[in-house]
Amino acid sequence: MLRRRVAETPNVRAFMYPQGAAVPTNWVTLTWKQTSDIVDQLAAGLLSRGLGYEERVAICSNTRIEWILVDLAIAAA
């Protein structure tokens, strides 16, 4: 699903998230291509650490962009 979206709309905004203070004034945008690049790097890191097919992975985090990116990377690994 991610790969198809990147192929169809690589430069369209995928995510927008706050950066910085508790009351964000600066928002960062990720395109689908940027998202895919980050996900590929994270997935490669998971595989290099020995993550195997159908192994379980837990994500313990507050709601944040990294959670989404790691979730996508786990699915891609």
- Residue pLDDT, tens place only, 35-49: 999 999 999 999 999
What pLDDT, in 10s, does the model give residues 21-37?
Answer: 677 778 999 999 999 99
Count of the separate structural domains present in the chain: 1
Which domain, by its residues, includes 51?
A: 2-76
Name beta bridge partners: 29: 16
| pLDDT at position 5 over 80 | yes
pLDDT of residue 21: 67
pLDDT of residue 41: 98
